[in-house]
Structure 1
Amino acid sequence: MQEPQMRVGINLLPLIPSVVGGIQQHIESLLDRLLAVQELSFTLFVNGRIAHLFDDSSDRVRVVVTSRKSQEIRSRYLHGEFDVLFAPMMDPGVDQAICPMVVLLVDLQHRHFPAYFSSEELSSRALHWEWPARAAQTLCVSSRYVARDSVEKLGISPDRIIFTPPGLPAAFRSGFAASEIRETPRLPDLPAKFLFYPSNTWEHKNHRRLVEALAVARRTVPEMHVVFTGSDCKGRKEIDQVARKYGVEDAIVWLGYVAQDLMPFLYRKAEGLVFPSIFEGFGIPLIEAMACGCPIACSDRTSLPEVAGNAAVLFDPYSIEEIAIAMCQLWNDADLRSSLVVQGRRRLSELQRAESIEPLLAALRASTGKFRNPICWDPRLVLVSDDVPLVSIVVPSYQQGGFISACIDSILHQNYPRIEVIVMDGGSTDGTCETLAGYGGRIHWVSEPDDGQAAAVNKALALARGSIIGWLNSDDVYRPDAIRNAVSALKGGSGCRVVYGEADYIDREGVRIGRYPTDTFSVSNLLNHCCICQPSVFFQRSLVDEAGMLDTRFDMAMDYELWLRFSRFTPFLFLPETLAASRIHADTKTANFRRESIRESIFACKLHYGRTSMLWCKQFAHEVSGRSTVWKKSRVLYSAIQAVAFAYAVLRHNGISEFKRVARTVRSIIG
């Protein structure tokens, strides 16, 4: 009996031609080979700008035109339309590991050069590149350099990584001869001789130093020209300024974005490819140059020496002088150029032998067997695993002598073998220290004046040795199995670095009096309200190292600010289990300082996302209108003050455009 076709979903929604750079050629090459495999069927999720590129007349290929913000991929998987999701542009298009995934990671440039990215771009890469890489059953990389980076920076196990190096784009696979390529009116007049650099003007592509090196090289070779192709990005203006400064603007030809079918002509006509990039995950122009018989001089950083082999002149991309010397060598030394062309053909042949699609096919087929729904974790697996991580529980305390023993006992009575307890007390005088001393060596504690709760937690975090952290206030308690459940979830296949669960409210005597208003995780939910109960949260220590400790500017909403900050680095996994209980009593800070809590919550939202929610604005309005009992005596006055306070909050915190939108909505409601 013939096995049914494996159904593969492929997310191509982030693909925007001329914008994404060399990855476009990599993806096109992969798709050409993948779609040719007859025993697979495909659902391609595409945006409207590329829909025309795909033919869905075959009964093996379905093209779904949608948007990146839609839930189309999630919906179609849950309805059984595909078995495994392939994400060739890192982002799988789902925000949870709901299905088997194979993800292609281009590079981790943002980890090496964060200054090249805005805070929004860094957050996007953490959520849409790093999280999928951690959650995927298999991670595809194009070079050994990226593989090493994935292991070191993301903690990916090497046995989950496969190599899928880029193949040559179709325009370079036709076996053309130089005589077959003729100039075309689609290109402007070119210099008789030139060096070639095809790249968008991103900062890491290093155009500025190349222009400076051109100025140096022209002192020896005054007729040298450079031709640039690629889309203009934010660095173009500075590059033009450098060219004018050094008087070489007439020695540079900018062609902008050039269609792929014309690129072989430029490589063939050039004296050589000069590629000074500071950071690459592979370097597709190198293999394009090799295919066209174009000699290469390139940077000696990241993946480029690995790809070039001995088929390039290597230089330090930070050295203007070294770049200039390499340019002059390509220009002046015909024997060197000939040798590099020969070596390039040999190196290309070696690289093409590694282009097999079989590792990717094997990964797609195996992924369904490897997938384990992260929501359906089995805490029993933790105790039989060889890797039982140390969990550090940090406990800030001040004058909570009546509750501290219940707190610590709830930690020590957990059925998990590796726990350290770190109590940071602010110099209590209510018997807390005597209680702590009674635990002997089972806990580590310090009692001394501090600068508040956030500072105390930070001191404890600095001492923590565990790879997983929990934060339990001294008047709160863990429920049984909390730590084991949290660890098993963090070790599961979600790729998330934070987990949280349900939580109860309890009174002074520990009697349950309600449930914390927990919600499933999304940034939208988190911005609307603090839907995460602090004692129910556990997170990886490495996340603190990257995102930072608590912000000591916050006295009331320090936990909310931390969750918002963490949400820019990772999705959170919600566990439908009660992990903790938060105690409500007369001395609870949040209940007694509601005004400050709302103010800090709004500040935290604006700090990390540049806006706050309508719900926080309403909370602010409710708090303002309730300050005076006189206002409450008049319903009209009370409502008017609420409306003014709400309008003020929206205008101040979300800006005039949001204020106008709300005003239009209100007008439409009241007619």
Structure 2
Amino acid sequence: MDDEFKQKVLQQLDQIESRIALLERNQHLIAAGQRRESLRSLWRRPPMWTFEQYPPRLLNLNSFQPTPSPPANAPRIAMVTPSYNHVHYLDATIDSILNQNYPNLHYHVQDGASIDGTVELLSKRGNGLSWRSEPDKGQSNAINIGFSGVDCEIMAYLNSDDMLLPGTLAYVADYFMSHPDIDIVYGHRVFVDRDGLEVGRAVLPPYHGKTLQYADYIPQETMFWRKRVWDKVGPIDESFHFAMDWDFILRAQAAGFKFVRLPRFLSCFRIHDAQKTAATYAVGVKEMGILRRRVLGFDPTQAEIRRVIAPYLALQIAYHYGYKLGLLKY
């Protein structure tokens, strides 16, 4: 890890530790007798990978940055939602996109022949989106079908149980328009439960390419990219069923495309028992191993992975507490 990055980590941690100590002494933020969360515990479960951080509560949209207006001459954004038997969540996903009121949007739901009422739901949605329901070869295949032949400038996919936060499309479009050299963006995420109640937040440090070769820290539901990325490295590799987003990200990084972490919460990642992420963990471990071997040229041990990503995790902990204490505003 480069010395400049290590120095930034240490500076951030020193600032956070000093502020925490001051607040604990003067404002009694931690009640008497309450044990402080150990550093060891934070390393085991860093905040960005700890989904349920507190009891469920209503999602307070007023706690985020104000919703911007879409830019003039708004670029064409194409979004695809791959779906299969997620009728319980799909309506909220669709609403989160269409309620952005983005003026130049192509939105398509590609359903894998669901039998849970999804087709009936889609039939009632009316204008604003296109959809098809037919057998497919999995999520990656559905995403590729959804993007087939689409004319656009910006692309993203949102799974059928996740949600965009208000203003995301306008904010992303404005950023791309004012930063023509940037190819891929992503942002902070909110964790919600099956009922849409907030259970956690993940505030991420800026993009760091070396860390990304060892661990995927980019929240897929917050990621948008220019079509030129898709044209060069796409489509989604359909041999992957879990780590397809990390594969796409690594191919884009290897091709020299520029990434930026935006200073804004962009989307909500839903936690529930039936989600694919929980149900196919073994497949994910295998696919992540394949990607590490391809990118690094060897199989790193868990100790090697932890050693390389440790500075990034330390910085993420600093950002987490900086946001929690009000030192960072998003």
SS in 2 for 1:441: coil
1:494 CA displacement: 6.2
* Distance across 2 between alignment mates of 1:459 and 1:517: 32
Match in the other structure for 2:241: 555
Q: Which amino acid aligns with 2:89?
A: F
- Is residue 2:98 matched to residue 1:397? no
Q: Residues 476 and 612 (structure 1 numbering): CA distance in 2 closer, same or farther, change over 3 Å?
A: farther
Contact 2:70 2:103 (C-alpha < 8 Å) held by counterparts: no
Match in the other structure for 1:496: 182
SS in 2 for 1:504: strand
Structure 2 residue aligned with 1:427, among 107, 110, 113? 113
1:604 CA displacement: 1.4
* Distance across 1 between alignment mates of 2:190 and 2:76: 26
Q: Which amino acid aligns with 1:556?
A: F
SS in 1 for 2:250: helix
* Distance across 2 between alignment mates of 1:517 and 1:389: 27
SS in 2 for 1:505: strand
- Is residue 2:188 matched to residue 1:535? no
Match in the other structure for 2:74: 388
Contact 1:499 1:572 (C-alpha < 8 Å) held by counterparts: yes
Could you list the per-position Cα deviations for residues 563-586 of structure 1 after superposition, in whole angstroms to 9, with x for gaps in the alignment?
111112312110121100111111
1:528 CA displacement: 3.1
- Is residue 2:122 matched to residue 1:436? yes
* Distance across 1 between alignment mates of 2:299 and 2:185: 24
Q: Residues 555 and 517 (structure 1 numbering): CA distance in 2 closer, same or farther, change over 3 Å?
A: farther
- Is residue 2:260 matched to residue 1:608? no
- Is residue 2:277 matched to residue 1:590? yes
Q: Residues 488 and 436 (structure 1 numbering): CA distance in 2 closer, same or farther, change over 3 Å?
A: same
Q: Which amino acid aligns with 1:469?
A: M
Match in the other structure for 2:254: 568
Contact 1:494 1:573 (C-alpha < 8 Å) held by counterparts: no
Match in the other structure for 2:167: 481
SS in 2 for 1:575: strand
Paired residues in the alignment total 245
1:303-318 matches, cutoff 5 A: none
1:452-463 matches, cutoff 5 A: 452-463=138-149
Q: Residues 415 and 525 (structure 1 numbering): CA distance in 2 closer, same or farther, change over 3 Å?
A: farther
Match in the other structure for 1:523: 209
Could you list the per-position Cα deviations for residues 373-418 of structure 1 after superposition, in whole angstroms to 9, with x for gaps in the alignment?
xxxxx995852x3x31111111000000111110000000114211
Instruction: Specify every segment of 5 or more residues in structure 2 that has no aligned partner in the other structure, as ranges.
Output: 9-65, 307-330
Q: Residues 528 and 515 (structure 1 numbering): CA distance in 2 closer, same or farther, change over 3 Å?
A: farther
TM-score by length of 2: 0.69
Contact 1:508 1:584 (C-alpha < 8 Å) held by counterparts: yes
RMSD: 2.5
State the identity as a percent.
30
SS in 1 for 2:260: strand
1:466-477 matches, cutoff 5 A: 466-477=152-163
Q: Which amino acid aligns with 1:394?
A: V
SS in 2 for 1:489: helix
* Distance across 1 between alignment mates of 2:210 and 2:218: 13
Q: Which amino acid aligns with 1:598?
A: V
* Distance across 1 between alignment mates of 2:90 and 2:249: 25
1:467 CA displacement: 1.0
Match in the other structure for 2:137: 451
* Distance across 2 between alignment mates of 1:481 and 1:612: 41
Q: Which amino acid aligns with 2:259?
A: F
